[in-house]
Chain A
Amino acid sequence: MRRSLTIGVAGAGGDGVVVLGTLLQQLAASQGYFSQMPKFYGAQIRGGGSAVKLSLDAEGSSLPKDSLDILICFDWGKYLEFQKELPLRSDTLVLYENIPPREIDLPEKSFKIDFSGISQEATGAARSKNIVALGLLDRILALSEDRVKAAIDKNKELKLLKKTLPALEAGGHLLTELSFSELKLSPVHAALPKVIIDGNSAIAKAAIRAGSRAFFGYPITPASEIMDAMQEELSHGRGAFLQAEDEIASASLAIGASLTGAKSFTSTSGPGFALMTESMVLASSSEIPLVIVDVQRCGPSTGIPSKSEQSDLNHAIYGGHGDAPRVVMAPYDVEGCYRLLIESVNIAQYFQALVIFLSDQWLGQTPVATNDDFLKKDYSIKELKRPAGTDLEDYRRYRLTDDSISPMAVVGDPGLVYQTTGLSHNEKGRPAFDFETNQRMHEKRWQKLVPLCQRDDLVKVFGEEESSRGIITWGSSAQVVLDTINELGLEDKVKVCVPELICPLPERVERFIRATKKLLVIEMNYSGQLYHYLRSQIDLPRKTKTYNRAGGRPFSRKELTEPIMEIVR
């Protein structure tokens, strides 16, 4: 019996690798198992290799382990592309279709299975070989056969299996001479079905929840799914949606919509984010609410479109000309993608601010099976502060107020007509080129965001906050950092700080650092962008270390073990 299992599937396009992973994840989720399933794929549109690494867990949605408990391999050539992501151990169970090349050292428990032939026999076509493998996995993991059948009947995502039931059953009758009792999944405590959601779809759902009915985007890997989902949500007159001609246009369209009071947002990845730079500072300077979601991939330039990295932080914090204050948010898990996107829309509205939301390919494209309570929770939804009282008599769009937030009329509001501009402007929004106005308006725009520094709730701290050994990490890297600490049993020895609000920097991060003697900053970018940002804001302990490297492969527990042990010592 195992609490958790890590299962890899590798093959060529058409082998049905992702379909197999997805179906297994869904079947397990219907029985209450948590899971995460990162996907690995190359740059090819079709026909390249692809792989998934599914972690099934009876207790929580843990990450896949470094190495595999089970590998299903349809194509060894393609497996070799992802070998570093899907390493085998001596006790890994390997189920493979073809004779492996010489460089593969097959573990003891390896079985060659003619998945295609069995599929051909059972269904008359070889292409259901992935379903044959699924049938076999169901049996090995001891997923309840009755419940699998019930789920297939009930769940529309599983309807593919109705047509391929003979293949599924044939798979279940393979290798019956062997007992795989050590690979059985332990039963879940409460067999509540899990919802399966990835960061990109969580973002789209959250936007709707936050009241956003205007989306403008441009296709880009690995963010396109957000646009696709928003198109679905906003079609048929349910909102404003446009696939723009480029990212300059998508951000500009969002600004235009926002002027009319629509809660608008756009999503992109690095290259598109770069194109949005002029819109970012326009939104910031003319105080038009704007949310930009950046699902980060490896940069610079085209980089590695399909792989995760955390290297757009500098651009998020500093990007653009002039002094343009903005808010930078970064979720570290799928629940955070949902909760923080709502928060981002709220902040953009309430503070009339530019909010940059940094997700990444890992978060965006990894389906996670988890409890759905975060989708059902109540979230407070904030609206624009609108003109009232004396504002209605003498409306000044950028009136200086105690909290530096000026009530905003939107285009269409009677009696409040104003003209605004990206030029330096006065309280009325009219061009003003004197130093005093320029200084005062800068002060206003920066000051209004200062209260965000008090948002303790946007900083997650794990472990004893007063401990002298601390790690700061952010985004999807936080998950593997926390997992590694748990695995090493160091929860009591080291505390971890994960700022979900990065800019402006919350005071809680400062407090965390002040109480720390040995600090380690972990992030996935070559130059240590968070580390340098923190250094610019706070005096870091003398014994501050960093562990950072370029993206292209997820952090493994193994590689993080040494740096973490080092600060605990």
Chain B
Amino acid sequence: MTTESATFRTNLKPVWCAGCGDFGLLAALTRRALPNLGIPNYKTLIVSGIGCSSRIPAYVDTYGFNSIHGRAVPIAQGAKLAKPELTVIAIGGDGDFFSIGVGHLPHAVRRNLDITCIMVNNFVYGLTKGQDSPTTLRPELGEKQFVSPEFYTPINPILNMTTYGISTRASFIAQGIATDVPHLGWLIEEGIRHKGFSFINVLTPCVTYNPPELFNTIKEKASYLKDGELVELPASSMEKPWPHDPSNISLALKLAQSPVLGKPHLGIFFQGK
């Protein structure tokens, strides 16, 4: 019996649809981040909630707990508090982290325990077959607004996870894309290395319940952040581009506010001390 896993993959076959973005996350974790970090598999715990992406612990050869909907973050914190030498990763979807479990997030942020939260944001409830999630992007797709106009017009019914993370001053905030495994693997590595609470939003395609143009647009418009280089802004922006500085939280907020279908930024938005 080895104590370190060469591949970090169990022999289980994922339940995901062919082409699911979750495969990208699985590869980023097991082929990049975990092997690169060199932490023994027995010192690592992955806790997930419920959803497509939350099935991931069964596929990763570390300690794992596919728990219940919304509670990955508190369970992960409990483990970290009780055994601080562990590397603890919480994984969940947009429904998991930002709907049912959203109440736990600001508290995890303010405690700043050294855990890494990976939110697999595919803008939809996939496991339950296509219902709206808090990040579902219908108005931006030009469809009819789903709230009856005689009530009120929603200004922006989408919850933006990344601005939320920044406004609560999470100490590490990054955004990756499931289709770029090396980059996502690097972000996860950096998130785990960061001493404190790390939040990584992973833009993820759902090939079954989202129209293909949604993720195609995201991929096409995505722009990588590089320290010191000018950031790209959406065509509609009146601002002057600025050199990317991940130590500046106000600039991070601007990056996060950039519409995901306008100019989704990929990289480390903010890293505090």
Which residues from chain A sit less than 8 Å from chain B, CB to CB?
213-214, 216, 240-242, 244-246, 248-250, 252-262, 264, 278-279, 282, 286, 392-393, 411-423, 430-431
Once the chains bind, are B104 and A414 in contact (CB under 8 Å)? no
Question: Please, which residues of chain B bring their CB within 8 A of the CB of A414?
Answer: 3, 40, 42
Name the segment of B28-36, B66-74, B157-165, B196-204 touching the other chain.
B66-74
Question: Please, which residues of chain B bring their CB within 8 A of the CB of A244?
Answer: 74, 107
Could you show 8 A-B contacts with beta carbons less than 8 Å apart? A252-B67, A252-B75, A253-B78, A259-B65, A282-B68, A282-B71, A419-B66, A421-B65
A415-B42, A421-B57, A430-B12 known; A253-B77 Cβ under 8 A: yes
Min CB gap A528→B, angstroms: 33
Q: Does B53 interact with chain A (Cβ within 8 Å)?
A: no
Q: Does B43 interact with chain A (Cβ within 8 Å)?
A: yes
Question: Please, which residues of chain B bring their CB within 8 A of the CB of A213?
Answer: 82
Once the chains bind, are B82 and A264 in contact (CB under 8 Å)? yes
Q: Does B62 interact with chain A (Cβ within 8 Å)?
A: yes
Question: Number of contact residues on B: which range applies?
Answer: 35 or more
Q: Does B21 interact with chain A (Cβ within 8 Å)?
A: no
Question: Please, which residues of chain A bring their CB within 8 A of the CB of B136?
Answer: none
Once the chains bind, are B81 and A253 in contact (CB under 8 Å)? yes
A278–B42 Cα distance when bound, in Å, is 27
Contact residues of B between 35 and 57, Cβ < 8 Å to A:
40-43, 45, 47, 55, 57
Which 6 pairs between the two chains have the least Cβ-Cβ distance? A256-B78, A253-B78, A419-B64, A257-B82, A252-B74, A256-B75
Once the chains bind, are A419 and B10 in contact (CB under 8 Å)? yes
Once the chains bind, are B45 and A411 in contact (CB under 8 Å)? yes
Once the chains bind, are A419 and B71 in contact (CB under 8 Å)? no
Chain B CB count within 10 A is highest, among A253, A414, A415, for: A253
A422–B64 Cα distance when bound, in Å, is 12
Once the chains bind, are B67 and A282 in contact (CB under 8 Å)? yes
Question: Please, which residues of chain B bring their CB within 8 A of the CB of A412?
Answer: 42-43, 63, 83, 85-86
Chain B CB count within 10 A is highest, among A240, A248, A252, for: A252
Once the chains bind, are B58 and A431 in contact (CB under 8 Å)? yes
Q: Does B120 interact with chain A (Cβ within 8 Å)?
A: no
A329–B250 Cα distance when bound, in Å, is 53
Once the chains bind, are A252 and B65 in contact (CB under 8 Å)? no
Question: Please, which residues of chain B bring their CB within 8 A of the CB of A259?
Answer: 45, 63, 65, 75, 78-79
Once the chains bind, are A415 and B1 in contact (CB under 8 Å)? yes
Once the chains bind, are B83 and A248 in contact (CB under 8 Å)? no
Min CB gap B192→A, angstroms: 16
A454–B151 Cα distance when bound, in Å, is 63
A257–B86 Cα distance when bound, in Å, is 11
Q: Does B154 interact with chain A (Cβ within 8 Å)?
A: no
Residue on A nearest B70 in the bound complex, by CB? A248
Question: Please, which residues of chain A bring their CB within 8 A of the CB of B58?
Answer: 419, 421, 430-431
Once the chains bind, are A255 and B1 in contact (CB under 8 Å)? no
Once the chains bind, are A249 and B74 in contact (CB under 8 Å)? yes
Question: Please, which residues of chain A bring their CB within 8 A of the CB of B62?
Answer: 417
A411–B79 Cα distance when bound, in Å, is 9
Question: Please, which residues of chain A bring their CB within 8 A of the CB of B5?
Answer: 417
Min CB gap B264→A, angstroms: 30
Instruction: Please report whether the interface of chain A is mostly helix, strand, loop or mixed according to DSSP.
Output: mixed
Once the chains bind, are B63 and A256 in contact (CB under 8 Å)? no
Q: Given known contacts A214-B81, A259-B65, A392-B1, what 10 new A-B pairs fall within 8 Å (CB)?
A: A244-B74, A248-B74, A252-B71, A278-B68, A286-B65, A411-B79, A413-B42, A417-B5, A419-B65, A431-B66
A249-B107, A282-B67, A421-B66 known; A256-B86 Cβ under 8 A: no
Residue on A nearest B84 in the bound complex, by CB? A240
Once the chains bind, are A264 and B83 in contact (CB under 8 Å)? no
Question: Please, which residues of chain B bring their CB within 8 A of the CB of A418?
Answer: 63-64
A411–B61 Cα distance when bound, in Å, is 12
Min CB gap A499→B, angstroms: 31
A418–B60 Cα distance when bound, in Å, is 9
A261–B214 Cα distance when bound, in Å, is 44
Q: Does B76 interact with chain A (Cβ within 8 Å)?
A: yes
Question: Please, which residues of chain A bring their CB within 8 A of the CB of B139?
Answer: none
Once the chains bind, are B83 and A245 in contact (CB under 8 Å)? no
A415–B40 Cα distance when bound, in Å, is 10
Question: Please, which residues of chain A bring their CB within 8 A of the CB of B3?
Answer: 414-415
Chain A CB count within 10 A is highest, among B55, B66, B67, for: B67
A282–B1 Cα distance when bound, in Å, is 30
Once the chains bind, are B74 and A256 in contact (CB under 8 Å)? yes
Q: Does B103 interact with chain A (Cβ within 8 Å)?
A: yes
Once the chains bind, are B42 and A240 in contact (CB under 8 Å)? no
Question: Please, which residues of chain B bring their CB within 8 A of the CB of A242?
Answer: 77-78, 81, 111
Question: Please, which residues of chain A bring their CB within 8 A of the CB of B76?
Answer: 256
Annotate B2-22 by CB proximity to A: 1 below 8 A, 0 otherwise.
110100001010000000000
Min CB gap A254→B, angstroms: 6
A254–B41 Cα distance when bound, in Å, is 23
Residue on A nearest B15 in the bound complex, by CB? A431
Chain A CB count within 10 A is highest, among B42, B45, B74, B111, for: B74
Once the chains bind, are B79 and A245 in contact (CB under 8 Å)? no
Residue on B nearest A213 in the bound complex, by CB? B82
Question: Please, which residues of chain B bring their CB within 8 A of the CB of A216?
Answer: 78
Residue on A nearest B78 in the bound complex, by CB? A256
Once the chains bind, are B107 and A245 in contact (CB under 8 Å)? yes
Min CB gap A198→B, angstroms: 28
A392–B104 Cα distance when bound, in Å, is 37
Min CB gap A216→B, angstroms: 6
Min CB gap B56→A, angstroms: 10
Once the chains bind, are B66 and A256 in contact (CB under 8 Å)? no
Once the chains bind, are A417 and B77 in contact (CB under 8 Å)? no
Once the chains bind, are A254 and B83 in contact (CB under 8 Å)? no
A264–B45 Cα distance when bound, in Å, is 18
A262-B83, A430-B12 known; A417-B63 Cβ under 8 A: yes
Annotate B76-101 by CB proximity to A: 1 below 8 A, 0 otherwise.
11111111011000000000000000
A253–B75 Cα distance when bound, in Å, is 5
Once the chains bind, are A419 and B57 in contact (CB under 8 Å)? yes
Once the chains bind, are A249 and B81 in contact (CB under 8 Å)? no
Question: Please, which residues of chain A bring their CB within 8 A of the CB of B55?
Answer: 431
Set B2, B68, B79: member contacting A260, Cβ < 8 A = B79
A214-B81, A411-B63 known; A422-B68 Cβ under 8 A: yes
Once the chains bind, are A411 and B66 in contact (CB under 8 Å)? no
Once the chains bind, are A420 and B66 in contact (CB under 8 Å)? yes
Min CB gap B82→A, angstroms: 4
